[in-house]
Structure 1
């Protein structure tokens, strides 16, 4: 079967451009791969064009817009997911611009499709007492209890992502003062972050328990599941969910029902903001590319403080009627204001 130009260049994009030119991680490549599976599904379902018949000429402004709408309307994808799929297509389009300059005008129109703005969700996080309640549900005397305790403690005290947690190797720990952890973050960027001295005895005990304190085991993964394999995201989600359920039985109002490892990261960030830690430091700790990403926590903190002040002020500030409620002239002026 003759290969289409779409198949040829998509193969080149995934095997050469993304890993070699862009230095994309396997996680990014996998996410982008699924985006193109969906695009091919769209071409089959909506245009009756099978995957082996799709060629470069089908990458038009209209088809891309219709595909993005299809994701939302037919597949019921949220705005964030739609934007992720659009980012994958845009990356491929930028690659094709140098291969097919004759399509440059169409490609510029595609790249000009605006990213949809999603309403900012309220950040869900735990207060300090909620974190203590959650982590203290771990029974250190049970099998894997110490492992689970160290996992939860590291998530909270460092704010690392799940993808970063499961990539920790024994050699990434420095357990002599100053205590640090080498984290392998997004975009193959690594950073050192401090470890709290209170967690060090538990980490050391865990290393001895698993015999990771031996020099020949320095390259091994720090956390392994019951199959003696590196943890997956789902495995860490299961552990956090397990102790979330136990904590909610004691104080359901204190622990969100769907608490996740990423919300533990929010918890770390909000705790630092509330303590007055500089945003630049928080950015570096969390591994954000820009401080603008970190600013969402400062905004959330300011909003919570404002709501608390407003709630308290209701009891001390007498209610008053707005001046314009009984001033018909002012109402008339406002109604006519800026009329053409």
Structure 2
């Protein structure tokens, strides 16, 4: 509900059933799919949560029943039987990371955000929830503690180059280390707040457009989740076992990870060519 309020420029305390109209909810669901690139299952889950809340209120206040009936006319979407995974090549990644002008403070932040997102394969919100206390870059085996769905945590190792970029970033954004500080933040009236998903999607889309003009391998519509998909595909192609990849991504079921094996038409093509060439 908080996300819906943020989307409509109102606070949770001011949310009323008059504002929770069918049109408002439909616009929010469309935003999830078209701008946040959420899956159909995520869209349906959010709708189910909104319905449950309104039904709960309607059981206690007959005046809310009209809103229950209205929202229940919004249909759940049927997910496609085949999942198309969009990802970019390692050459495309290089072009994307060349776009930020790191002489500018925010662009330095944006570069490190994209590097960390790719290296960890983390979801957008998982990165935005990170605090300095989750960063463990001392010693020979640097890692990040990521809290995923269901509040489950996983330890994700990072590359030495990522640690180097973190130090440059921290020197500017965290000169005084405070463990409770968000790793990525915005400042308003002297206070620090976690960056919003809209903010990150905005600058990644901007860099995607610029990078595509330089290198056609970069997808025209770049978005945050594509970094996760791309890193997963690159690791899978490099030989990471599916079970380990599932654990690395924080998937509760390995069936969620099999989409990368099903999506890799290039590997299938190479395998067929090897067989037919003998």
Establish whether TM, by shorter chain, passes 0.5.
yes
Deviation at 1:136, TM superposition (A): 1.2
Deviation at 1:245, TM superposition (A): 1.2
Secondary structure, in 3 states, of the residue corresponding to 1:182? strand
Distance across 1 between alignment mates of 2:158 and 2:267: 29
Q: Which has a greater percent of helix?
A: 1
Secondary structure, in 3 states, of the residue corresponding to 2:220? coil
Counterpart of 2:82? 120
Counterpart of 1:34? 50
Is 2:234 the counterpart of 1:235?
A: no
Counterpart of 1:158? 120
Secondary structure, in 3 states, of the residue corresponding to 2:113? helix
TM-score normalised to the size of structure 1?
Answer: 0.59
Secondary structure, in 3 states, of the residue corresponding to 1:71? coil
Distance across 2 between alignment mates of 1:312 and 1:256: 29
Counterpart of 2:182? 221
Task: Pick from 241, 247, 253 the counterpart of residue 211 of structure 2.
Answer: 247
Structure 2: 5+ residue stretches without partners: 1-43
Is 2:119 the counterpart of 1:131?
A: no
Distance across 1 between alignment mates of 2:63 and 2:249: 40
Deviation at 1:256, TM superposition (A): 1.6
Task: Give the direction of change, closer, same or farther, for the CA distance of 1:140–1:32 in structure 2 (3 Å limit).
Answer: same
Secondary structure, in 3 states, of the residue corresponding to 1:122? coil
Counterpart of 1:47? none
Larger Cα-atom Rg? 1
Counterpart of 2:228? 265
Deviation at 1:214, TM superposition (A): 2.9
Distance across 2 between alignment mates of 1:192 and 1:213: 25
Distance across 1 between alignment mates of 2:121 and 2:138: 21
Counterpart of 1:286? 249
Larger RCO: Structure 1 or Structure 2 (Cα < 8 Å, ≥ 6 residues apart)? Answer: 2
Deviation at 1:144, TM superposition (A): 1.1
Task: Pick from 165, 184, 204 the counterpart of residue 167 of structure 2.
Answer: 204
Contact 2:209/2:221 (CA < 8 Å) preserved in 1?
A: no
Indicate the RMSD between aligned Cα atoms, in angstroms.
3.3
Deviation at 1:308, TM superposition (A): 5.7
Counterpart of 1:140? 102
TM-score normalised to the size of structure 2?
Answer: 0.71
Distance across 2 between alignment mates of 1:53 and 1:141: 56
Task: Give the direction of change, closer, same or farther, for the CA distance of 1:31–1:71 in structure 2 (3 Å limit).
Answer: closer
Q: How many correspondences in the alignment?
A: 226
